[in-house]
Structure 1
Amino acid sequence: MRISTPKALAVTAACALGLAACGTSSGGATATPSSTVDVGNPSAVTPVDAGTLARAKKQGSVLLYTNADEQQMKPITEAFQATYPGLKLRVLNLNDTQTFQRYATETATGVRTADVVMTTDSVGMLNFVKKGNIADYTDPNLKNLPKYAQLAPGVTAMSEDPVVAVYNTALIPKNKQPKDVTSMAQLSRSLKGKIGTTDISNPIAFGALAGYIGKHGEAGWKNIEELGPNSGVESGNGNLMQKLAQGQYQASYFVSGTVRALITGDAAKVLNYTYLTDGTPMLPRAIGITKKAASPDAAKVFVNFLLSVEGQEAACKGGFTPYRDGVKCAYGVPAIEKAVGAQNMIIGGYPDDIVKNKPAMEARWKKAFGR
């Protein structure tokens, strides 16, 4: 997901304009969930070896292509460069499709390309791996991470970001906000055109659908097909959040959980998010070192940092969802588990046959939504 700064600020701007929707919210899930949840004990530090670090310092920088925007990446960049002052992290913000296309173009012409890619597009990443574009690197941190952390050879999840429901609290009071997709589908009958989601072409939307349908099957499709005719569809979460803040939408679903970090201050007076208790899809944000990396050792140091306790805590500040034990984060996996229960978390790896099944799933979604 990418939320440009203007889009992100639109939420605050809407409140600043004095919308009626900027009333005080209370109860339910908030933008600052409990940080007192037990996050476990941090495991042993597992840095790269001395030789890799020495070569990385000679390389001097690492180039990252990511769909996360500058606001999200800033805490990570600052923490990484504070830990490794001899290494500069250069970040190029691209959507997932642009990342893969740019890499192909640059490698074909022999120009400098990404050392590391970070993406939420599971199908795109699997195809990228299949084409031989990812180095088969196993980070030392993997032995301290859950099994679902490794997504494919050389590909690791740096976070497990949930999708959430977001409401305009002035238009739908807290005690009437659905907490699951089934209730959302029922409410949509009376909210025709006033409930929103993102288009299936968005990797977040497809990942959420795949996870939800993977858990509920045809019963899940029944809810999606009831939501379809009643839902407005946006290209991305930025437009969705803006229209929620302005009251054009009253409710939304399958919204990227990275918006949680934006629902603060004035925005928290108008918007409220909740996790989905009949199944919260947790979508992995994948990282991998490219085969054509100009700074492969610097890339290893960066990936190693992202998977460390320190790196995961920095990621939390950007709205990402850390999953490693011992990471203090109000948005982390333990906090979500406390909110919905382990049985209702759909931890997203790369499901079997996701590449093969994508066209049929997209076609059925489009039929339901009249696209």
Structure 2
Amino acid sequence: MKLTKRYFLQMLTRLATVALLSSTASISSAQEVSAELDAWLKENALGAHAMGEENWDEIVAAAKEEGEVSVYTASGRIAKVVDHFQALYPGITLTVYDLGSVKTIEKTVREQDAGIFTADVVTTGNSGQVIHELLANNRIFNYVPAHFKDKIPEENRDPLLIRVNEAMVFFYNTETYPEGAPISNVWELTQEEFRGRVGIKDPMGSGSSLMGLAVLVQFPDEMAAAYKRLTGEDIVLGDGVPDAGYEFVRRLLANDVVIFKSGSKLADAAGAKGQDDAMIAMTSMTYISRNDDKGNVNAIISDLDPASRMVYPNFMSIGANAPNPNAAKVLIAYLLGSPDITLETKLEKPYIEGASFDLLQGLAPYHDAGSVSPRNDVPLPLGGEIWDEMVGWNVSADFMWEQGPRLRDFWLIHSSQ
């Protein structure tokens, strides 16, 4: 019997449903905290033993006695704060493991399964796995410094503290399009005019890129309505495609989207000067800073139907049985910035130098137009005002956990057509 693509996609849907039921069952039946782990949590006031108040001076003193702290991170920019952190907290050595989002989770799971507990702080995106695989299975624990709790809205600290919110957006080259953004509806990217002229970082190797796509896929009704506003017609789904969200992904691939291994190289390719026919880049908003660093001429498409920014969180937490839990608490507080910051605080570029660095602390490398602090009292960076002007959708950790594997498979199937 000849297996058609429709048959294969139907089987994929059934398998995804089975996988969803299995994963949901595994979450609901996650192991209880062991007596040994519970003792560690109690000793360090974490998990069910977390207290509303803290003696911060005692925590810092205990951290200095521990003498070191390690962080597993999906962001290499944390390495930029090592010297500053160590100068602010002499006696604590900070070791940064720059692993990327996928390997951060893999290394944490693999080591803990082998009884190895090295990670003090774990910070990464990949919201579905972080919430449902790490947090739900007691591999990491939430920690919010008491002196920041009132400055961080609940949605940014529960069930897990957000280090920064970031977003996927669309860039266009201002020399190629001097009169402004060339599109006003995301479905235009699937039309013939933009065949081979849209770039994206490979979502099979990038958690942020996959989450950006997932944000669009998780709102199929809104995507279908946007298509009708553009064309005046109801959308017709491809063979075996379940809804308008997945149909957008299928058409994007069918329109010869250009896949990059590096987000920075994608931003540079789209924004290089002297181009008559530059591509549109779906990439991390943070790369707009490369206009200053690399001389790019990118601009953000800020008014796009149905959404201009696809927001995803980067979490931070304390690893189970962390060997330096007090130093982990100090590092997490440092990554949130100084308590002395207010909305009236004047911060100046370069943020990673001088007085601005001393105030922003671990936020300094991320104080750009593409990142937003979880705190409600940190002013937006220069150029970051556009964040509040754009319609934004947020990725759902539940959607990523339930549909992420299906979306990956869908991408692989249709990218091979």
Both structures adopt the same fold (TM-score exceeding 0.5): yes
User: 2:276, 2:332 → 1: CA distance?
Assistant: 41
Alignment of 1:69-84 (within 5 A): 69=76, 72-84=77-89
5+ unaligned residues in a row in structure 1: which ranges?
A: 1-45
Instruction: Answer yes or no: is the 8 Å Cα contact 2:117–2:320 preserved in 1.
Output: no
Greater shift, 49-58 or 270-279, is seen at: 270-279
8 Å CA contact retained: 2:171, 2:283: yes
Shift of 1:134: 0.6
Report Cα offsets for 1:85-123 as digits up to 9, x if no partner.
343322111112222232344445555621111111112
Determine the structure 2 residue equivalent to 1:211. Answer: 215
Residue of structure 2 in register with 1:158 after alignment: 163
Distance 2:299 2:209 in 1: 20
- The one-character-per-residue Cα deviations of 1:229-288 (angstroms, maximum 9, x if unpaired) are 1211223313423433566982334311221222215523x3333346332111101111
How many angstroms apart in 1 are the aligned matches of 2:209 and 2:140?
25
The match for 1:358 among 390, 404, 415 is: 404
1:96 to 101, 113, 122: 101
Question: Residues of 2 paired with 1:176 and 1:274: CA distance?
Answer: 6
CA distance in 2, matches of 1:286, 1:197: 23
Which residue, out of 375, 381, 384, partners 1:330? Answer: 381
The reply to whether residue 184 of structure 1 matches residue 189 of structure 2 is yes
| Count of residue pairs the alignment pairs up | 314
Partner of 1:300: 329
| SS of 2:161 mapped into structure 1 | strand
Matches within 5 A, 1:18-167: 49-69=56-76, 72-109=77-114, 113-126=118-131, 127-140=133-146, 141-152=148-159, 155-167=160-172
SS class of match (1:263): helix
Instruction: Select the residue among 236, 249, 267 that pairs with 1:224.
Output: 249
Give the match for residue 197 of structure 1.
200
- CA contact under 8 A between 2:175 and 2:276: conserved in structure 1? no
For 1:174 and 1:312, locate their aligned partners in 2 and report how far apart those are by CA, in whole Å: 38
- What fraction of aligned residue pairs are identical, expressed as a percent? 21
Paired position in structure 1 for 2:286: 258
Contact (CA 8 Å) 2:181, 2:301: kept in 1 or not?
Answer: no
Which residue type is aligned with residue 252 of structure 2?
L
CA change 1:176–1:167 in 2 (3 A) is: closer
Tell me the SS of whatever aligns to 2:292: coil
* Contact 1:48–1:301, Cα closer than 8 Å, also in 2: no
CA distance in 2, matches of 1:284, 1:136: 15
Partner SS state of residue 190, structure 1: helix
Q: TM-score, normalised by structure 1?
A: 0.73
Contact 2:120 2:328 survives alignment (8 Å): yes
Alignment match, 2:234? none
The residue that corresponds to 1:241 in the other structure is 267
CA distance in 2, matches of 1:227, 1:159: 29
Which amino acid in 1 is paired with 2:254? P
> What is the Cα deviation at residue 298 of structure 1?
0.5
* Preserved CA contact (<8 Å) 2:171 2:298: yes
The structure with more radius of gyration: 2
- Give the drift of 1:335: 4.2
CA distance in 2, matches of 1:96, 1:265: 24
> Where does structure 2 lack aligned partners over 5 or more consecutive residues?
1-52, 225-243, 342-359
Q: Which of structures 1 and 2 has the larger relative contact order (alpha carbons within 8 angstroms, sep 6+)?
A: 1
Matches within 5 A, 1:302-321: 302-308=331-337, 309=341, 310-311=360-361, 313-317=363-367, 320-321=371-372
- Please say if residues 197 and 240 of structure 1, whose CA atoms lie closer than 8 Å, have aligned partners that are also in contact: yes
The residue number in structure 2 matching 1:37 is: none
